[in-house]
Structure 1
Amino acid sequence: MSSTRTILTGIVALPVALIVLLAVLVGIQPADSCTAQVLAGGVAGPTGQSLAGLNERQLQLARNGVVIGKQRRAPESVIIAELAAMITESTLRNLANSNVPESLSFPNDGVGADHDSVGPHQMRVSVWGRVGIAALMNVAYQVNWFYDQAATITGAASMSSAELAQAVEVSAPNAYAGQLDLAQRLYAMFADIDPASMPAPAPGQPAPGCGPGSGPPGAPVPASGYGQAVVAAAQRWIGTPYVWGGGDANGPTGGGFDCSGLTLYAIYQASGGRIRLPHYTQAQQDSPAGQVVPFDQRQPGDLIFLTSAGESDSHHVAVYAGRDADGTDLVIHAPQTGETVTTAPLSRVAGSDHLDVRRYTTPQPRSPTVEEGKQL
């Protein structure tokens, strides 16, 4: 991200019209119509607004930064911080990256070459790529990422918008203060939009897209009945204390659950006792009952395993619970000693860990062979 910020720092005092010039220089590409029609947790369609130097696609991105922030009930200063960050990082564009060839196959507003940074917040694939390139090239995912990160920062409410943007993006140099005027103007332009009037996807469901059952890039598929049962079993114990080694197929032991105790319970209960996982994260991940699932095919009820960089065994596991109305991926998990079973944003739980998804399907009854049938 550093080279993009360095360039932008030098032009912050120039007229806004230079943003368009910069966009032309990197080669804006037409946006995919499906992505333009819907952004999970945002709002689609023409903005009906104009601002010198910004095109309609840039205004749409700014509008969704405001809308998603308002849907999440973020304070005005936090929304302005998100806008200032997008202006500084990408000049309000969903950028692919020539150093990340797979990003070029996704709808984008231009192609950059800053390290392996992609999207409006220029998220590094080497740092955040565990979710898959489809998610990183999803505008709504990146906007929600910023708000997720901001929510974890101690003292965020007392920070200025520029300070908060810096705390989330960890930029060198800090260039966000120079974009606050434009960010404030964009906020004022879209601040009157009522989030309650906007359609939002149900938890665990993709937003409507260009065809039946379609959704934005990276959207999870709908939950199966079995997946819903896994989520319901885990949700039953929200608020239960974390206990190392706690939990079995019948419920909490020693007064609580650890992460793998909660997941083995949820899978056992949802399967009617037909799937009994071991009480160890890597053993659960390796269980022959589990099906390897690409992250972009995740659905509620899947288990997500977290592995630290450089390690071979996963150290944590959570139940994927779907997305909330803002498009944020949620998990149910037993975090650590001193905490309780809870629902949390996946981005907050995962940090920089590698993610693996497993789906445990209930075995189907075997039909008897001809010989066995004769013996019945």
Structure 2
Amino acid sequence: MLKFLAIFAVPLMLILVIGGAIAARLGLAGGGSGGCVPALPADLARAGITAEMFANAAVVVEVGQEMRVPQGGWVIAVATAMQESSLINRPDGDRDSIGLFQQRPSQGWGSAAQVHDPRYASRQFYTKLLKVPRWQRLPLTVAAQAVQGSAYPNAYAKHEPLATRIVVAVATNICSAASAFGLRVVAFGKRLLGTPYAWGAGGYNGPTSGHIDCSGLTMYAIYQASNGRIRLPHLAGAQLPMGTQITRAQAAPGDLIFFYTPGNPTSRRHHVGIYVGNNQILHAPDVGQDVKIEELWRTRDRLDFVRYG
């Protein structure tokens, strides 16, 4: 049989490279359970994974990261939960089986309430997996069976490819919930509500001669929110590459929105604003207008969403 690590060397290498940043990406630093849930990628939705399933997989991966389980173990755990519960935190199952891993209180996994807690259940799974001799060299279905003792010992193998995709998606997904930095960006931007527009006005310390333009507003908000660490230039197009581009579905308060007209020979981002959530933008629109918050309008422009911090 082909070995698990040989089959999935490329995706697992991607997980390895990014693994150290997973807690920060998901808002999970400090081991708490109050992190945000990453957005469900479209390709996984097409494969039948729901937002609930993806959120549960994110918990499984988070616990594995906290316990310093090697990344291959995360895939084994997610594949196991896919087989046992379809990644749904079930309150019941066969006999007294409960939860993501269908663990049985009568078999010493914990109380009914404990095994119904996805974090506790994940810790129990990893604890037992780490005791399996040479588990990293075993085929996934053999390692999973050593933990679960299932009546269907070969059933886990079929979930391996999709489980790997899910783990990679969790590890590389940027969370759509507002970060503390993003909220500071919005807060500083709001301080300039009502400021009149003037092209070329504004900077790191705010308006110049009582005026500001769109990129002056964003450079001020990002600079102040980062305590002077991030110094964006005073030009929308030059600000864009200094952040991380994300999808519109991942947009969170504090991200910047850049506007570009397709077919424009200059390829110039002609406007930028601050996303404040609920499909609203905080920006300095144009001559004769003041800094304001309004609904993100329908436009033929292409919108680029970018995150800083």
Q: Please, what TM-score do these two structures have when normalized by structure 2?
A: 0.43
